[in-house]
Amino acid sequence: MRFTLWLLLLAFSSENFSQIVTTLVADPTTRFRDDIILDTDGNLYCSDYSGSDIYKLTPGGDVSVFATGLNTPNGLAFDSNQDLFVCDNIGDRIYKLDLLGNFLDTFEVSKPSGIIKEFDSDTMIFTEYGAAHTLSKLAPDGTITETHSGDPLNGPVGLVYDGENQLYVANFNNREIYKVFDDSLQYWATVPGPGSGTLGFITFGGGYLWGTSWNAHQIYGISVQTIDSTFLYTGSTLGGTDGLLSDATFAGPNGIHSNFAGDTIYISEYNSGRLRMISPGVAGEEQKLVKELNFQLYPNPSKGEINVVFETVQKVDEVILLDAKGQVISKRTKESFKGTNSFSWWVDKAGIYFVRLRDEEGNISQQKLIVQ
């Protein structure tokens, strides 16, 4: 299967663009339900906890089954050799696979859930969602060492390092997040949610932790500077609405992963199996959302010539044409269409493009363009 949206849209981190939510995969035959990870080439992998597969989505939009035959694939992590470690929760195994999906090794573990590579070695740190509620290490030689067990761990799943290489662990059951030290766990924050709500995975990007409040259908930001400081980032009621962050809705957000630049977030939905993306950029609590701009783009699909028409009352600063890789193909500044509210462009090559309009205050809108 092929999907036409490129995963890694170009991030304009120095410019004040709104965050846009886009559905990347929405196909009943592929279920992006659980943990998410990126390899160094920008390929995205996602596990399907309720199925037996791990899916791969390339930057070009190709979806395939990377590995199959698992019981309940859960946490995912790469080592420095780009070998993928997979937690099979009910299967009581951690598997090691190469980038071709070949199984290289198997480690017997009781109820493994989340997993992450230690920041300064190829030792893997993993959580166990079971009666013991433990945090352990898996050394490259296969040795397993338990480091923390029991209270305050309560269904631990998510693991992430912040920008200072501080490790955090998140409890699925009570939505609590803890800093991890060699000899202790320090309470850090509780992600809001309903009384019996759960916290899926956590990630780090743009200077904040981000967590999925599964039952609340919301995504929260968590400060790494101030204890118990959280804020609602996006989401409200159950749904699947794309567009501006303030309007977006989700259906059981679970897996969450920031790209290497920390400016794009990917979210898997357990309820729907959809893969969603927030781009460009992640914003802190203090960054306000800006209004969407209205413009027309036609014909779409096009044979090459496109027309852009925007409201005369808008003080348009520039219009940008991006290819499917998020690379800027052309840019029109206000000087080129001064005194008019429309202009034409010619695109030579067939493909998927994005046309992005920005006004002088940084308000933006974006539309997808298909050139045949």
Write the CA distances from 356 to 17, 58, 311, 323, 371, integer angstroms.
10, 24, 14, 11, 16
Let me know if residue 290 belongs to a domain. Answer: no
Residue type, 96: K
Q: Same domain for 208 and 317?
A: no
Partners of 208 in the beta sheet?
Answer: 205, 223
Residue 296 is predicted with a pLDDT of: 84
Say yes or no: 263 and 325 in one domain: no
pLDDT band at 322 (very low <50, low <70, confident <90, very high): confident
Q: Is the pLDDT of residue 75 over 60?
A: yes
Full residue range of the structural domain in which residue 199 is found: 20-279
**Residue scoring higher pLDDT (206 or 186):** 186
**Are 200 and 252 contained in the same domain?**
yes
Regarding whether 53 and 179 lie in a shared domain, the answer is yes
Q: What is the mean predicted confidence (pLDDT) over 231-252?
A: 93
Answer positive or negative: Cα dihedral of 125, 89, 50, 140.
Answer: positive
Residue 8 inside a domain? The answer is: no
On whether both 336 and 217 belong to a single domain, the answer is no
In a domain, residue 287? The reply is: no
Residue 342 has a pLDDT of: 79
Q: Which pLDDT score, from 0 to 100, does residue 359 have?
A: 72
**DSSP per-residue string spanning 315-342:** -EEEEEEEETTS-EEEEEEGGGGTT-SE
> Which tokens go with 266?
């990917």
User: Which pLDDT does position 9 carry in this prediction?
Assistant: 33
Tokens 């849209």 correspond to what residue? 9
Tell whether 244 and 140 lie within a shared domain: yes
The per-residue pLDDT for 332 is: 83
> What's 102's domain CATH number?
2.120.10.30
Mean pLDDT of 88-112: 97
Higher per-residue confidence, 5 vs 190? 190
- Asked if residue 300 and residue 268 are part of one domain, the reply reads no
Say what percent of the chain tops pLDDT 90. Answer: 62
**Which of 211, 244, 279 is the C-terminal boundary of a domain?**
279
How many domains does the chain contain in total? 2
Residue 108 structure tokens: 């017997």
Check whether residue 331 and residue 355 sit in a common domain. Answer: yes
pLDDT digits (tens, 9 = 90+) for 267-316: 999 999 999 999 865 554 434 333 456 778 889 888 888 888 877 656 77
Asked whether residue 236 falls in the same domain as residue 310, the answer is no
For 56-72, write each residue's pLDDT tens digit: 999 888 999 999 999 99
Reading across the β-sheet that carries 351-359, which strands appear in turn?
Answer: 328-333, 316-323, 351-359, 364-371
Q: Would residue 90 count as lying in a domain?
A: yes
Under a CB-based contact definition with an 8 Å cutoff, are residues 95 and 85 in contact?
Answer: yes
- Do residues 270 and 208 both lie within one domain? yes
Model confidence pLDDT, tens digit, residues 1-52: 333 333 333 332 323 346 789 999 999 899 999 999 999 999 999 999 999 9
Predicted confidence (pLDDT) at residue 337 exceeds the cutoff of 50: yes
What average pLDDT does this structure show over 207-222?
A: 95
Residue 355: what pLDDT? 82
In the predicted structure, residue 341 carries a pLDDT above the cut 70 = yes
318: CATH: 2.60.40.1930
SS3 label, residue 52: coil
Q: What is the mean pLDDT of the chain?
A: 86
| Confidence at residue 86, expressed as pLDDT on a 0 to 100 scale | 98
Tell me which of 318 and 176 has the higher pLDDT: 176
Closest to 238 (Cα-Cα) out of 206, 255, 221, 215: 215
Q: How many other CB atoms are there within 10 angstroms of residue 250's CB atom?
A: 28
Q: Are residues 224 and 351 in the same domain?
A: no
- Is residue 205 a part of any domain in this protein? yes
Higher-confidence position of 87 and 294? 87
